Structure 1
Amino acid sequence: MTEQATPNPSFDLLEDLEYRGLIHQTTNREALQEKLGKERVVLYCGFDPTADSLHIGHLLPVLILRHFQKAGHNPIALVGGGTGLIGDPSGRSTERSLNTADTVAEWTGRLKGQLTRFLDFNSEAAGAKLVSNYDWIAPLDIITFLRDIGKHFTVNYMLAKDSVDSRLANGISFTEFSYMILQSYDFYKLLADHGCTLQIGGSDQWGNITAGLDLIGKMGGGNAHGMTFPLVTKSDGKKFGKSESGAVWLDRNKTSVYAFYQFWINTDDNDVIKFLKYFTFLDREQIAELEAELNERPEKRAAQRELAREVTRLVHGQEAVESAEKITQALFSGDVTQLNEAELVEALQDMPTTVVNGEEVPLMDLLITAQAAPSKRQARQDIESGAVYVNGERNTSVDAVITKQQRLHGKYVVLRRGKKNYFLVKFE
């Protein structure tokens, strides 16, 4: 990643983020804009370890931190090792389940590892930092917390914040009620220890961010700023970041590279240009060309392919892009023999999988065992009509027997019924 040694005054970062639709609210926009143009700004965003991996909902704030770094500023990625033990009430209607300290510590370590993929922690000029708020929250004793920090928050002030007000009907514990104070203290500590003068977060974090600014003012910390970005929505009203098999994770062991790539390539026409602005670093000219192509030849899905390539490259690297495209082509053509074992398993991991024993198995029996056909009558009909494929080759013989030599990589047979119904059979 090539960074600016100092901010480039001819480049208006906020204007570029505005073009990309990445600014929802800011405090004192003109002052922040002037500050970003004149000096290197230290900013932070927090990521609570609520799971053992980041998911694509976290991708937007990570990439915004990277936008700032590319413009010559110093991002801090804060992993909430302390606040993760408490639970953020923002955007939730019910209380979070509390995880053990060991679990949160383990997840904190994993999130730290993932964040290093996106930010440059080695740059001398615009180097990023990685911190955990456990380091300053854990040593706090209750009296210090109440006297030195809590005294600056009135209950009325906290009740007026959306993150708290929205929870009053269903109830909110004192534990989650105090989350705002702890996040505010994070901002104060990062300003005091690292000169951090800007906090960014999703639009649901506005109340917590402004609470931090108020605390900084009351504790004499100096001038600081806040900025939020919009929560990602889809035009069809469905929740962003969910696939048919669940959340889309950045950990390839939780969401395969192929499934990750497919999530992006299946983006609706109404969302793809917005997502290109959100999740890629393509410039305006490139995005405009893709938008024109989308309008003129939507069936080509060029914008979706570029989105899938760019985001997969950012998260998993160029080799992952090539592998995902190879798998996509193999499944489209039906020729799975070109895939290596790892690619074959990845391509079909969400397809029905059956484990069988035996040296040779009649194809009719295998179709029923793999639940590719409900009965021998249906299996026979499918074979005779040419709807059955074995390892990509059409088989029209009802007397066919699958031999050991036909197994891919010595243990797999891929059955296909029709154009898209795949079944993986693994021989033991």
Structure 2
Amino acid sequence: MIDYIQQFKDRHLFHQCTNEEELNKQLNKEKSYFYIGFDATSDALHAGSLVQLRAIKKLVELGHHAIILLGGGTTKVGDPSGKDESRKILEYKTIEANIENFKKIFNHYFRDYKDKITYANNDTWLSDLNYIELLRTVGSHISINRMLTFESVKERLKREQSLSFLEFNYMVLQGYDFYYLNKNHNCSLQIGGSDQWGNIVLGIEIISKINKKDAYGLTTPLLTTSSGKKMGKTEKGAVWIDQEKFSSFDFFQYWRNVDDKDVENLLLIFSDLDKDEITSLIDEDINKAKKKLALIVTSDCHTEEDALKAEQKATDLFENKNFNQDIDLIQIKKDVSLKITDILVINNLIASKSEAKRMIENSGIKINDIAISDINHEITDKDEGSILKIGKKRIFKISFKN
């Protein structure tokens, strides 16, 4: 008998579960359908979603079947979970484009398990759902008192922040999704991030009352550092899984430069190495362990070839100090003088001018290894071919164009 829950706990993929013992029995009794939903609120997934992707991969490797629910319908409403304010309402065509890009990302990430993955779009059933029918089907089985206890609602009300009726309905729609998939696809388990707990429980209660079946929920933890800070952001913004939005080299470097204290946790989540191997690797050489982590995650999300190229480029730049190779260019129009802060922001190298100023004040911006101390420092034609260093691990060559 496989102890699924313990495996999830050992790999730091477990936050909480509705019934650990019964879920273990269900997963051992038969190969089960489970689902996890992704609302298409952006055109790509960021690194924080990788914990859920690893959870999917863990279960499909053990023979179970994943339904990846693309929230074409629920994205039209907006999930209030974990948010201090209402989400921006997206145009339908934007949602559809985002979903197509999500599918491309999923197809690549799960390229070795395509026969174990099914896609569903809840717009298929939610858009045609008559509101009166929804109220008659699930309305009498949902307690408003219960919904008001969910953290996503309670925290917004506690802070006296607006929670629209549109958002309040989101929980009902997600619960309906689980009910629908359970009824039509025999889906017995929903997995989600830790902020989805209330929505998942609501779906389980609807299934119990209407379908008269057992269903289960399991949540994964947030991807955080040892200090509790959310991972997945850099000076230039989100760490996107999509290679077109975040280069393989930058992606590799993000994982290569994580804090020493986070390496063990991240290797447990993202690798298949056992704990003794991880401990031995870290004890032997922490930098070697970080390279291993970066190589594994970049290979999974991009390709092994791209990961190896990124590793070699990092070695050439930071260990061999070889700046004559193919370094990313920052191109500036000739005969134009720009402040260093403007160049950093315009080229999306740093998220904001305030962040650029902070880095300059902390000697984090260098040209040819000389720290810039003046936030009004201007880059001119004289800087052609100079090496711009941002922080310890990001290097660019300045180039002027006509």
TM-score range normalised by the length of the shorter chain: 0.7 to 0.9
2:30 is matched by which residue type in structure 1? E
Structure 1 residues 232, 122: CA separation in 2 closer, same or farther (over 3 Å shift)? closer
Instruction: Give the match for residue 106 of structure 1.
Output: 97
Could you tell me whether the CA contact under 8 Å between 1:22 and 1:278 is conserved in 2? yes
Question: Following the alignment from structure 1 to structure 2, what is the Cα–Cα distance between the partners of residues 33 and 122?
Answer: 22
Residues 1:327 and 2:313 are matched in the alignment: yes
- Tell me which residue corresponds to 2:181: 190
CA contact (8 A) 2:388 2:398 kept: no
- Indicate if the aligned counterparts of 1:55 and 1:249 stay in contact, CA closer than 8 A: yes
1:305 and 2:291 matched:
yes
**Residue type at the aligned position of 1:416:** I
**Partner-residue secondary structure (3-state), 1:110:** helix
Q: Which residue does 1:144 correspond to in 2?
A: 133
**CA displacement 1:91-121 (0-9 Å, x = unmatched):** 0111111111111111111111111122258
Alignment correspondent of 2:62: 71
Tell me the equivalent position of 1:415.
386
Opposite residue 188 of structure 1, the aligned amino acid is Y
- d(CA) in 2 for partners of 1:180, 1:417: 48
Question: How far 1:254 sits from its partner (Å)?
Answer: 1.3
SS for the counterpart of 1:167 is: helix
- C-alpha distance in structure 1 between counterparts of 2:368 and 2:61, whole Å: 52
Relative to the length of structure 1, the TM-score reads: 0.78
State the distance in 1 between where 2:368 and 2:339 align: 13
User: Does the Cα contact within 8 Å between 2:183 and 2:211 map onto a contact in 1?
Assistant: no
Q: For 2:332, which of 349, 354, 360 is the aligned residue?
A: 354
Structure-2 residue corresponding to 1:90: 81
Taking the aligned partners of 1:92 and 1:371, their CA distance within structure 2 comes to 34
- SS of the equivalent of 1:222 reads coil
Distance in 1, matches of 2:112 and 2:119, equals 8
- Once the two structures are TM-superposed, the CA of residue 289 in structure 1 deviates from its matched residue by 2.0
- Tell me which stretches of 4 or more aligned residues in structure 1 moved more than 4 Å: 120-124, 368-372, 417-422
Change in 2 beyond 3 A, CA 1:369/1:58:
closer
Aligned counterpart, 1:135: 124
**Bigger mean CA offset, 242-251 vs 329-338:** 329-338
Give the match's secondary structure for 1:117.
helix
Q: How far is the alpha carbon of 1:413 from its aligned partner?
A: 6.2
Indicate the larger mover: 178-187 or 19-28. 19-28
Residue 354 and residue 72 in structure 1: after superposition, are their counterparts in 2 closer, same or farther (change >3 A)? same
Normalized against structure 2, the TM-score is what? 0.83
Q: Is 1:337 matched up with 2:328?
A: no
Q: 1:44 to 1:369 in 2, by over 3 A?
A: closer
Let me know the Cα RMSD of the aligned residues.
Answer: 2.6
Inter-partner Cα distance in structure 1 for 2:73 and 2:271: 31
Distance 2:259 2:28 in 1: 36
CA contact (8 A) 2:331 2:401 kept: no
Deviates more, 1:182-191 or 1:221-230: 221-230
Letter in 2 for 1:415: S
Report the Cα distance in structure 1 between the residues aligned to 2:205 and 2:388, rounded to whole angstroms. Answer: 63
* 2:274 partner amino acid: D
Following superposition, the deviation at residue 225 of structure 1 comes to 0.8
Preserved CA contact (<8 Å) 1:370 1:425 = no
Question: How far apart in 2 are the matches of 1:120 and 1:187?
Answer: 26
1:424 aligned to which of 380, 398, 401: 398
Q: C-alpha displacement at 1:63, in angstroms? A: 1.3
Superposition deviation, residue 123 in structure 1: 5.7
Could you tell me how far 1:334 is from its partner in structure 2?
Answer: 3.3
Match of 2:236 among 234, 245, 265: 245
Q: Percent identity?
A: 37
- Answer yes or no: is the 8 Å Cα contact 1:56–1:241 preserved in 2: yes
Deviates more, 1:145-154 or 1:78-87: 145-154
**Where does residue 29 of structure 2 map in the other structure?**
38
Which has the higher relative contact order, 1 or 2, with Cα contacts under 8 A spaced 6 or more apart? 2
Whether 1:318 and 2:304 are equivalent positions in the alignment is yes
AA paired with 2:398? L
Distance verdict in 2 for CA 1:388–1:156, change over 3 Å: closer
Query: Helix, strand or coil: the match of 2:163?
Result: coil
Output the CA distance in 2 between the equivalents of 1:230 and 1:417: 37
Matches within 5 A, 1:392-411: none
Q: Distance in 2 between matches of 1:417 and 1:165?
A: 47
Of 133, 150, 164, the residue aligned with 1:161 is 150
Instruction: Supply the distance in 1 between the matched residues of 2:338 and 2:323 (Cα, whole angstroms).
Output: 21
Shift of residue 281, structure 1, vs aligned partner: 2.6
- 2:247 counterpart residue number: 256
Q: How far off is 1:220 after superposition?
A: 2.0
- The change in CA–CA distance for 1:178 and 1:388 in structure 2 (over 3 A counts) is closer
Match of 1:380 in 2: none
Q: 1:369 to 1:141 in 2, by over 3 A?
A: closer
Structure 1 unmatched ranges of 5 or more? 1-8, 358-365, 373-386, 390-400, 403-411
Which amino acid in structure 1 is aligned with residue 132 of structure 2? I
Q: Is the 8 A contact 1:46 1:78 kept in 2?
A: yes
Structure 2 segments unaligned to the other structure (5+ residues): 342-366, 370-380
Q: CA deviation at 1:327?
A: 2.0
Contact 1:24 1:229 in 2 (8 A): yes
Distance in 1 (alpha carbons) for counterparts of 2:28 and 2:168: 37
Pick aligned residue for 2:48 from 41, 57, 61 = 57
Structure 1 counterpart of 2:123, one-letter code: Y
